[in-house]
Structure 1
Amino acid sequence: MVSGDRGGGALFPPEDAEHLESGGEHQAGQEPGGRGDERRRRGTGRAPEADPESAARAIVLRQLTGSPKSRKQLADKLFERDIPDEIAENILDRFEELQLIDDAAFADAWVRSRARTRGLSRSALRRELRDKGIAEELSAAALEQLSGEDEVEMARELVEKKVRSMPAGLERDKGVRRLVAMLGRKGYSSGIAFRVVNEVWPDARG
């Protein structure tokens, strides 16, 4: 649950939420179809936001509702929405204080999920975490969840699944190249790839 600011104020005041959801009211004295509407039609298609701080809170909350995000991912989204840098930093700092942004927890969850669902190697996971702005020390700590034995076992499972779907009668050399290339795309070294493929092929092909 999102807690309030210090002093009891809401992190995201209801009136700001209503304003943002409705796209804001027309300014006093401005008729529909005037310059503001024309700017919206010709620009991004978004109505002018409320004050930048409230807009930044709303953007971050919406992003976190969909799935966990790293601080860099959220900073990039605020930049895309033209939130001033100082305001963006202040909002992100506040969300970190509330532990709604936690790059260490994000990295741990990312490694578990991507290793389980995609079978990615540690080197591939390290690149993904770097792309998401995770600090090297946090990335290294998260990757400690996977041992060298875990990595070999993941590679073996990938090969066993793939080799059974390969055409019958496929020449062994071609099959080996395909399997090694598949593991390479998932970040496995050629040493691990050839070792696992050569171990699995006779058992899987019969």
Structure 2
Amino acid sequence: MTCSPLPSTSSSSAPREESAKRAEQARALCLRLLTARARTRAELEAQLVKRGYPDDVSAEVLDRLTRAGLVDDEDFAEQWVRSRRVNAGKGRRALAAELRTKGVDDEVIVAALAGVDAGAERMRAEHLVRDRLRRERLGDPGDREAENKVTRRLVGMLARRGYDQSMALDVVTSELANEWERRKV
């Protein structure tokens, strides 16, 4: 009794199935990452590259998530600006830098920061300085060295948060004068 060979089952569908499996794994990874917090397309793409997914699979998955509305850089940028201004007290310059590191396009950054007006930014800086001044030891009135030290510290705090240096100095000077008046009483 002779056995005839079975027909070959390895056809061109095997690579397609493997590609579909990789795409599903990439999609699952992106969904897990998006469950933790909103992310930009560039952040997700970087994670897929880091995990070794091919560019065509990454592009396909990210396009699908974008069409579904799960990846939206404009919405991400607006939420990021709103959140970081309120919670971290960040200025326009720092917010733009943060969004750039997250891979957001410059046009999207400009649009997201368009809602931040100079008056609101100044008010936020004043609030940050007032809060910090209440915890500062100012020393004796007229002690220029102590006053300069506090001024440098507060201007530095605002500069690290992305506020313009001239505006920061102006805010610190006026708030320091107000704090001296408040402590006199």
For 1:74, which of 44, 55, 64 is the aligned residue?
A: 44
The CA deviation string for residues 151-198 of structure 1, in whole angstroms up to 9 with x for no partner, is: 111111110011111124171111001001111101112101110001
Question: In the alignment, is residue 183 of structure 1 matched against residue 185 of structure 2?
Answer: no
After TM superposition, the score normalised by the length of structure 2 is 0.82
Aligned-pair identity in percent equals 38
For residues 168 and 126 of structure 1, the distance between their equivalents in structure 2, rounded to whole angstroms, comes to: 34
Q: Superposition pairs for residues 56-67 of structure 1, below 5 Å?
A: 56-67=26-37
Q: Is the 8 A contact 2:66 2:72 kept in 1?
A: yes
**What's 2:110 paired with?**
140
**What's 2:17 paired with?**
none
Shift of 1:202: 1.8
**What's 1:194 paired with?**
169
Q: Which structure's relative contact order is higher, taking Cα pairs within 8 Å and 6+ residues apart?
A: 2
Q: Which structure 1 residue ranges, 5 or more long, are not aligned?
A: 1-49
> What RMSD, in angstroms, separates the aligned Cα atoms of the two structures?
1.3
Paired residue type of 1:123: R
For residues 41 and 91 of structure 2, the distance between their equivalents in structure 1, rounded to whole angstroms, comes to: 24
**What's 1:120 paired with?**
90
For residues 189 and 101 of structure 1, the distance between their equivalents in structure 2, rounded to whole angstroms, comes to: 32
Aligned length in residues: 157
Paired residue type of 1:67: R
For residues 108 and 124 of structure 1, the distance between their equivalents in structure 2, rounded to whole angstroms, comes to: 14
The CA deviation string for residues 60-97 of structure 1, in whole angstroms up to 9 with x for no partner, is: 00011111101011111111111111100110011101
Paired residue type of 1:81: R
For 1:158, which of 117, 128, 145 is the aligned residue?
A: 128
For residues 68 and 148 of structure 1, the distance between their equivalents in structure 2, rounded to whole angstroms, comes to: 27
Question: In the alignment, is residue 203 of structure 1 matched against residue 178 of structure 2?
Answer: yes
Question: In the alignment, is residue 87 of structure 1 matched against residue 50 of structure 2?
Answer: no
**What's 1:4 paired with?**
none
After TM superposition, the score normalised by the length of structure 1 is 0.74
| Segments of 4+ moved more than 4 angstroms | none
For residues 163 and 71 of structure 2, the distance between their equivalents in structure 1, rounded to whole angstroms, comes to: 31
**What's 1:109 paired with?**
79
- The structure richer in helix per residue is 2
For residues 69 and 99 of structure 1, the distance between their equivalents in structure 2, rounded to whole angstroms, comes to: 12
Provide the secondary structure at the position in 2 that maps to 1:51.
Answer: helix
The CA deviation string for residues 104-160 of structure 1, in whole angstroms up to 9 with x for no partner, is: 000000000000001111011011111111111111111112101111111111100
Q: Which structure 2 residue ranges, 5 or more long, are not aligned?
A: 1-19, 141-145
Q: Which has the larger Rg?
A: 2
